[in-house]
């Protein structure tokens, strides 16, 4: 196990700079998730840590050693790929065994390690099968097994769940998290799925256009997004974002050139015409669509031309086309500078 | 799946044989006859005594194995067979190894001049063998390779086509496989041999089969480069029956029949791969 430190890490492909000198300290045993839109440099950064991509500039440390020039195998990290990269011509046992390729162990010791790993991952009954005879989730587990068997100092995952269906993804999410709690191996996990980021991470790193926008715990990022991008990226459904002008007349909203963010879960539909006490913003809109989710219903509203999503308690499902009133409690408004999109705090 | 089953069910109520089918079968039948007739004549002639060779009956009047005895005992047949086997095997192994090594490098590594090298290799495909024979001959003469096994084999040890074929297949192997292996600590050669090669096994078997058959039947170059009968390959050896005094058809046909046996075996054993190989080469190549 080891900490990982990125100092001014740069990656340039010919003329394009994909990663612009990022700084990041990953503590020993930490589970860090990189999120960001497609093409923002998540994979590139991960691959530089793995040693699959040459580092153009800056310093990469694993543990105490600078590893910029080290081959992947000398870094003692393990990586799990999106397409699993398990070999179709080998059995599960052989595939997992590949993780021990360079280990100086006897055959019995290797087999014992493979059996242990298979047991943890629930693959014991499949050890002699070939990947073609496994389900997607089992294949992914084999890939994880190959990474685990070696006791690496860090795990790297590049969108490992994106080829699985939603249900399996939710299940594997929990499994990977449990595994991390058990093994406590430093983990860097890349995804563009904010739910994966929120549910798995000790710390989330939000990237955009080759830069780190913000790092913090999931709650941190949810409560205090540094800018519009993070605010909209973290949380589902996305935060409603309105120019202050659209909220003119609301006393709580400054009249400057700002953007106002309201999370759908903070924009509450008024039930029985009883406007709750202390609301700082009151909006009226026409219902365009409703999404009943059981415990609550997401209401899509049109407020003076702007589309917003509000929440109404599970049982109350307003009719499409009707007018309803929504309110926001104090402290639930996120303000952003309209020009720089940087956060101006909450109100 | 259900779709296909339904279609089957429907077709049961229609006349089974449609005109299109009949036409197709007729064409296939004609094609089959055209291809099989020479083979049948070859076997038939090999069973006829010399005096009846020009009697074009398909069933020999008095079949005899004397030609076989003669070919196997009083000619260099055994030696030629061995030579062909040796040459074809070595050349095949060499192609499987080097074509795929170069193909892999061209497909999976980024380096200066990669495109140029690839195009240079591709362009060799456009040069017909007939044009190359004279340079090969001069080269062999200068280097003392005439009338040697190496002389027979060297032009075919690697081929542009094989390299191109393998490159196309390695292109299709996801990089993840190699990178995972790299992280697991394998060196590049082992990655190629243990990971990449098994993943293109169908292409490799196609390449091996075509190379083997091509060399087994190769005639022109071995004829030119060999002078002593001990170094003849089978096709060259068989053709020597035609130059001594008169054309001894029954001997040629007997030798050819014997020479066909390994080819037939290869086809029967690897039929599945050959069909797949032809399809692969057609789709990708
Ligand atoms: N081999 C390459 N040559 C040139 N540019 C590249 C190369 N690989 C990646 N890039 C560029 O670097 C940038 C970052 O790519 P990267 O793969 O890291 O994105 P990502 O964040 O992983 O996106 P995704 O979510 O789609 O996987 C992209 O703009 C991409 O076009
Ligand atoms: Mg990526």
Interface test with A, best of B173, B174, B183 (most A CBs within 10 A): B183
Atom of ligand 1 nearest to the CA of A42: 21
Q: Which of A54, A49, A135, A131 is nearest to A98 (CA)?
A: A131
CATH superfamily of A4-232: P-loop containing nucleotide triphosphate hydrolases (3.40.50.300)
- Residue B10 confidence class, pLDDT cut points 50, 70, 90: very low
Contact in structure between B234 and B216 (CB atoms under 8 Å): yes
Instruction: Give me the CATH number covering residue B217.
Output: 1.10.3720.10
CA B248 to the chain's CA centroid: 27
Angle between helices B234-243 and B249-284 (to 10 degrees): 140
pTM of the full predicted structure?
0.80
Arithmetic mean of pLDDT over chain A: 90
Contacts of B3-9 spanning 24+ positions with Cβ under 8 A: none
Q: In this predicted structure, what is the pLDDT of residue A99?
A: 85
DSSP helix, strand, coil percent of chain B (3-state; round to 5): 80, 0, 20
Interface test with A, best of B184, B187, B192, B200 (most A CBs within 10 A): B184
Domain-located, residue B30: no
**Segment B41-94, tens digit of pLDDT:** 888 888 888 888 787 778 888 888 888 888 888 888 899 999 999 999 999 999
Q: Would you tell me how many other CB atoms lie within 10 Å of the CB of residue A72?
A: 22
**A11 vs B11, higher pLDDT:** A11
Domain-located, residue B31: no
Q: Name every residue whose Cβ is closer than 8 Å to that of residue B12 and which is 6 or more positions away in sequence.
A: none
Q: Is A38 in the pocket of ligand 1 (CB under 6 A)?
A: yes
> Which numeric CATH code is attached to A239-346?
2.40.50.140
- Residue B164 confidence class, pLDDT cut points 50, 70, 90: very high
CA A76 to the chain's CA centroid: 24
Lowest mean pLDDT among A190-204, B8-22, B48-62, B176-190: B8-22
Distances in Å between the Cα of B282 and the Cα atoms of B165, B242, B279 are: 10, 37, 5
CB atoms B199 and A73 under 8 Å: no
φ/ψ bin of B44: left (φ > 0), alpha (ψ from -120 to 50), beta (otherwise) = alpha
> What does the block give as tokens for B214?
């091509």
Distances in Å between the Cα of A315 and the Cα atoms of A20, A271, A293, A311 are: 49, 10, 10, 11
Domain-located, residue B56: no
Is the Cβ of B195 closer than 8 Å to some Cβ of chain A? yes
- Residue in B184, B198, B199 nearest the CB of A101: B184
Task: Return the residue matching tokens 């740069």.
Answer: A10
Lowest mean pLDDT among A97-106, A334-343, B76-85: A97-106
Domain-located, residue B60: no
Question: How many Å apart are CA A301 and CA A241, to the nearest integer?
Answer: 13
**Helix (H) or strand (E) segment spanning residue A308:** strand A306-313
Provide the H-helix boundaries in chain A. 42-50, 92-98, 107-121, 136-148, 166-183, 194-200, 218-223, 228-233
Q: Name every residue whose Cβ is closer than 8 Å to that of residue B94 and which is 6 or more positions away in sequence.
A: B153, B156, B157, B158
Biggest CA pair distance of chain A: 77
Provide the shortest C-alpha distance from residue B180 to chain A (in Å): 7
Q: In this predicted structure, what is the pLDDT of residue B15?
A: 58
Asked if residue B5 has pLDDT above 60, the reply is no
Strand-strand pairing, A306-313 and A296-303: antiparallel
Is the Cβ of B201 closer than 8 Å to some Cβ of chain A? yes
Question: How many Å apart are CA A128 and CA A132, to the nearest integer?
Answer: 12
Question: How many Å apart are CA A301 and CA A320, to the nearest integer?
Answer: 9
The residues with which A4 forms a beta bridge, in sequence order, are A26, A62
The residues with which B190 forms a beta bridge, in sequence order, are none
Q: Is A251 in the pocket of ligand 1 (CB under 6 A)?
A: no
Contact in structure between B77 and B229 (CB atoms under 8 Å): no
Q: Is A43 in the pocket of ligand 1 (CB under 6 A)?
A: yes
Which residues in B190-213 are b (16+ Cβ under 10 Å) and which e? Answer: ebbbbbbbebbeebbbbbbbbbbb
Residue A65 sits at the vertex; the CA angle it makes with A59 and A69, to the nearest 5 degrees, is: 55
Q: Would you tell me how many other CB atoms lie within 10 Å of the CB of residue A225?
A: 25
What spacing in Å lies between the alpha carbon of A210 and ligand 1's midpoint?
9
CB atoms A79 and B181 under 8 Å: no
Asked if residue A113 has pLDDT above 80, the reply is yes
- Residue B13 confidence class, pLDDT cut points 50, 70, 90: low
Q: Which residue among A10, A14, A22, A39 is best mutated to probe the pocket of ligand 1, counting the most ligand atoms within 8 A of its Cβ?
A: A39
Question: How many Å apart are CA A190 and CA A205, to the nearest integer?
Answer: 9
CB atoms A101 and B182 under 8 Å: no
**A313 vs A3, higher pLDDT:** A3
What spacing in Å lies between the alpha carbon of A239 and ligand 2's midpoint?
25
Q: Name every residue whose Cβ is closer than 8 Å to that of residue A339 and which is 6 or more positions away in sequence.
A: A257
Is the Cβ of B111 closer than 8 Å to some Cβ of chain A? no
CB atoms A78 and B183 under 8 Å: yes
Domain-located, residue B191: yes
Q: Which of A302, A303, A301 is nearest to A312 (CA)?
A: A301
Whole domain around residue B276: which residue ranges?
75-283
Over range A105-111, report the average pLDDT. Answer: 91
Q: Which of B205, B62, B186, B117 is nearest to A98 (CA)?
A: B186
Strand-strand pairing, A4-13 and A211-216: unpaired
Over range B100-113, report the average pLDDT. Answer: 94
Provide the shortest C-alpha distance from residue B68 to chain A (in Å): 45
Where exactly are the structural domains of chain A? 4-232, 239-346
Question: How many Å apart are CA B138 and CA B127, to the nearest integer?
Answer: 17
Asked if residue B283 has pLDDT above 60, the reply is no
Q: In this predicted structure, what is the pLDDT of residue B281?
A: 58
Residue with the smallest CA separation from ligand 1 atom 10 is A18
Domain-located, residue B267: yes
Asked if residue B12 has pLDDT above 60, the reply is no
- Residue in A79, A83, A88 nearest the CB of B183: A79
Question: How high is the ipTM of this complex?
Answer: 0.81
- Residue in A72, A89, A99 nearest the CB of B182: A72
**Segment A29-41, tens digit of pLDDT:** 999 999 998 999 9
Domain-located, residue B50: no
Q: Which residue among A11, A12, A43 is best mutated to probe the pocket of ligand 1, counting the most ligand atoms within 8 A of its Cβ?
A: A43
* Count of structural domains within chain B: 1
Q: In this predicted structure, what is the pLDDT of residue B249?
A: 84
Contacts of A85 in chain B (CB under 8 A): 174, 176-177, 179-180
Q: Which of A305, A300, A332, A289 is nearest to A248 (CA)?
A: A305
Residue of B nearest to A51 (CA): B183
Q: Which of B74, B67, B90, B79 is nearest to B208 (CA)?
A: B90
**Segment B171-200, tens digit of pLDDT:** 999 999 999 999 988 899 999 999 999 999
Atom of ligand 1 nearest to the CA of A13: 4
**Segment A17-30, tens digit of pLDDT:** 999 999 999 999 99
Chains A & B: contacts with CB separation below 8 Å? 55
Most trustworthy range by pLDDT among A206-220, A253-267, B264-278: A206-220
Contact in structure between B192 and B102 (CB atoms under 8 Å): no
> What does the block give as tokens for A35?
């999120």
Biggest CA pair distance of chain B: 74
Q: In this predicted structure, what is the pLDDT of residue B6?
A: 46
What spacing in Å lies between the alpha carbon of B111 and ligand 1's midpoint?
20
Residue of B nearest to A77 (CA): B183
CB atoms B176 and A81 under 8 Å: yes
Q: Is A15 in the pocket of ligand 1 (CB under 6 A)?
A: no
Going by the DSSP 8-state scheme, the letter that residue A54 receives in this structure is: -
Is the Cβ of B173 closer than 8 Å to some Cβ of chain A? no
Domain-located, residue B279: yes
Question: How many Å apart are CA A235 and CA A238, to the nearest integer?
Answer: 6
Asked if residue A217 has pLDDT above 80, the reply is yes
Provide the shortest C-alpha distance from residue A97 to chain B (in Å): 10
Provide the shortest C-alpha distance from residue A150 to chain B (in Å): 9
**Segment A38-84, tens digit of pLDDT:** 999 999 999 999 999 999 999 999 999 999 999 998 899 999 998 88
Arithmetic mean of pLDDT over chain B: 86
Q: In this predicted structure, what is the pLDDT of residue B16?
A: 65
């Amino acid at each position: 196990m080891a900490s990982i430190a990125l100092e001014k890490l740069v990656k340039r492909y010919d003329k394009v700079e994909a990663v612009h000198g990022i700084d990041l300290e990953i503590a020993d045993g930490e589970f860090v998730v990189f999120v960001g839109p497609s093409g923002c440099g998540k994979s590139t950064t991960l691959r530089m840590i793995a040693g699959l991509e040459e580092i153009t500039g800056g310093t990469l440390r694993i543990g105490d050693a600078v590893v910029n020039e080290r081959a992947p195998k000398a870094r003692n990290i393990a990586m799990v790929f999106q397409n699993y990269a398990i070999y179709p011509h080998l059995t599960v046992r052989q595939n997992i065994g590949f993780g021990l390729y360079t280990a100086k162990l006897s055959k019995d010791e290797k087999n014992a390690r493979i059996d242990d790993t298979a047991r943890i991952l629930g693959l014991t009954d499949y050890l002699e099968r070939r990947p073609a005879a496994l389900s997607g989730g089992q294949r992914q587990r084999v890939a994880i097994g190959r990474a685990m068997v070696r006791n690496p100092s860090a795990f790297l995952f590049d969108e490992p769940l994106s080829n699985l269906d939603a249900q399996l993804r939710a299940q594997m999410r929990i499994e990977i998290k449990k595994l991390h709690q058990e093994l406590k191996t430093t983990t860097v996990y890349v995804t563009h799925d904010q739910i994966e980021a929120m549910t798995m991470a000790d710390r989330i790193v939000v990237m955009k256009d080759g830069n780190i926008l913000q790092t913090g715990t999931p709650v941190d990022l949810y409560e205090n997004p540094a800018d519009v991008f993070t605010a909209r990226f973290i949380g589902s459904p996305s935060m409603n974002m309105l120019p202050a002008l659209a909220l003119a007349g609301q006393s709580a909203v400054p009249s400057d050139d700002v953007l106002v963010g309201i999370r759908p879960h903070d924009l509450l539909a008024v039930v029985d015409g009883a406007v709750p006490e202390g609301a700082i913003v009151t909006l009226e809109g026409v219902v365009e669509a409703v999404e009943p989710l059981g415990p609550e219903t997401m209401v899509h509203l049109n407020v003076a031309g702007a589309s917003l999503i509000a929440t109404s308690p599970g049982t109350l499902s307003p009719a499409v086309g009707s007018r309803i009133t929504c309110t926001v409690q104090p402290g639930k408004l996120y303000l952003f500078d309209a020009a720089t999109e940087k956060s101006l705090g909450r109100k | 799946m259900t779709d296909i089953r339904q279609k089957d069910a429907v077709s049961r109520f229609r006349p089974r044989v449609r005109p299109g089918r009949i036409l197709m079968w007729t064409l296939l039948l004609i094609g089959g006859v055209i291809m099989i007739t020479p083979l049948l004549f070859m076997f038939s002639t090999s069973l006829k005594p010399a005096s009846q060779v020009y009697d074009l009956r398909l069933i020999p009047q008095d079949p005899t194995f004397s030609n076989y005895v003669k070919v196997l005992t009083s000619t260099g047949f055994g030696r030629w067979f061995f030579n062909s086997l040796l040459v074809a095997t070595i050349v095949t192994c060499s192609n499987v190894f080097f074509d795929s090594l170069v193909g892999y490098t061209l497909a999976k590594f980024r380096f200066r001049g990669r495109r140029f090298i690839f195009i240079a290799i591709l362009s060799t495909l456009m040069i017909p063998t007939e044009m190359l024979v004279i340079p090969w001959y001069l080269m062999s003469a200068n280097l003392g390779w005439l009338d040697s096994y190496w002389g027979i084999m060297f032009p075919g040890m690697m081929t542009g086509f094989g390299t191109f074929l393998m490159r196309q297949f390695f292109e299709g192997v996801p990089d993840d496989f190699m990178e995972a292996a790299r992280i697991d600590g394998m060196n590049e050669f082992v990655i190629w041999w243990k990971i990449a090669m098994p993943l293109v096994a169908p292409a490799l078997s196609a390449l091996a089969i075509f190379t083997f058959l091509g060399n087994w039947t190769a005639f022109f170059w071995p004829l030119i480069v060999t002078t002593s009968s001990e170094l003849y390959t089978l096709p060259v050896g068989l053709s020597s029956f035609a130059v001594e005094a008169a054309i001894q058809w029954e001997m040629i046909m007997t030798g050819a029949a014997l020479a066909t046996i390994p080819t037939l075996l290869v086809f029967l054993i690897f039929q599945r791969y050959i069909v797949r190989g032809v399809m692969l080469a057609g789709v990708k190549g």
